[in-house]
Structure 1
Amino acid sequence: MSRIDYYFSTLSPFTYLAGTRLEDIAARHGAEITYKPLDIMQLFQRTGGKPVPERHPNRQTYRLMELQRIADIQDMPINLKPRHWPTNGAPSAFAIIAAAKAGGGDLGALVHGFCRACWVEEKDIAEDAVIAEQLEAAGFDRGLGGWAMVEGAETYARNLEDAVNAGVFGAPFYITDDDQRFWGQDRLDHLDWHLGR
């Protein structure tokens, strides 16, 4: 079985716009997904990227146009300036890490649920109640987010190191077990093509 390392941030609108297409692609090709949430701001610092507010105004304007265009093409709602963005992405990442270890639910739905909560539903994905709600909706124990902080923090930090060492510089980012790298939700078709070769 082939493997896809999936590096992402629950704060990324492009991770939201990926929806659950990765899971569909992986199922079609019999591939396993390893979910690796990371600190996108630290990734930018380590790999030469800039947080959105520090980018040139031309880039900021284009980003908003592109986000709306992608959302329209895919018929997905999006709030370009959500009330709770940016927020602390670590608690939702810790919950995903705990859920991956516990099993029994749908990790793809959990990741997408957090992203949708931020980019559509005006919820703060750092809040305990929102985390519990998303865990339950994806078929996991509501309490997972509360007792996984230490291990979650360690794995979260390790995911960042793994990402930098693997050549990751943005999110979402997909790496196959033969080291083919795909950056962005707009490269999912390329990933699908590669897995089907």
Structure 2
Amino acid sequence: MAHIDYYFGTQSPYSYLAGDRLEQIASKHGAQITYKPLDLLQLFDRTGGVRPANRHPSRMEYRGQELARWSQHLGMPMNLKPAFWPVNMAPSSYAIIAAAKAGGGDLAGLVQSFLRGVWAEETDIADDGVIRDKLSAAGFDPELANSGLFIGAQVYERNLEEAVEAGVFGAPFYIVRDSGQRFWGQDRLEFLDRHLASL
């Protein structure tokens, strides 16, 4: 069974646009996914990237056009200027990490709900009430928002270190453990699909 390490940030627009295509591909090939939320801004700092707030206006203008094109192409609603962005990614990431450890719910759905919350639902994914609601809707104990803080913080930091070591520099980023092949961006999911078919 192939294993995919999925690195992402819960406020990443391109992780949102990936939708559930990763899960569909993994299911098709019998692959397993490990979700690794991390601090994208620190990842940029550590790997030569530039935080959005510090990017040249021409780059940000192009980013807006590209996001609009992909949103339309994929049929996914998207607010290019969301009410709660940038947002503290740590609380939602901690919740995802705690939910993964607890099991029993829809982890993929939880991940997607946080991303959708930022880019399509105008919700503050750092708000405790929002986090609890999303945990509950995905079939997890909402108390994980509190009980998972310690383990969440530890793993969140470790995910960043592992990402840097593994060659990750953006999101979404997919690494197939079995082959070491890396895929950056939701527009590379087709290549991931082809690669898994060749294993």
Give the shorter-chain TM-score range: over 0.9
Distance 1:24 1:126 in 2: 28
- How many pairs align? 197
Equivalent position amino acid for 2:187 in 1 = D
Identity across matched positions, percent:
61
Alignment of structure 1 residues 141-180 onto 2, 5 Å? 141-177=141-177, 178-180=179-181
Distance 2:164 2:110 in 1: 24
Distance 2:116 2:137 in 1: 12
> Cα deviations across residues 55-75 of structure 1 (Å, max 9, x unaligned)?
111110000000010000000
Q: How large is the Cα RMSD of the aligned pairs?
A: 0.6
Alignment of structure 1 residues 28-43 onto 2, 5 Å? 28-43=28-43
Unaligned runs of 5+ in 1: none
Q: Counterpart of 2:100 in 1: which secondary structure?
A: helix
Q: Counterpart of 1:35 in 2: which secondary structure?
A: strand
Alignment of structure 1 residues 45-194 onto 2, 5 Å? 45-177=45-177, 178-194=179-195
Q: Compute the TM-score of the two structures, normalised by the length of structure 1.
A: 0.99
**Partner residue, 1:16:** 16
Distance 1:138 1:182 in 2: 27
Distance 2:136 2:65 in 1: 34
Distance 1:144 1:187 in 2: 33
Runs of 4+ in 1 over 6 A off after TM superposition: none
Distance 2:49 2:85 in 1: 18
* CA shift for structure 1 position 50: 0.7
Q: Compute the TM-score of the two structures, normalised by the length of structure 2.
A: 0.98
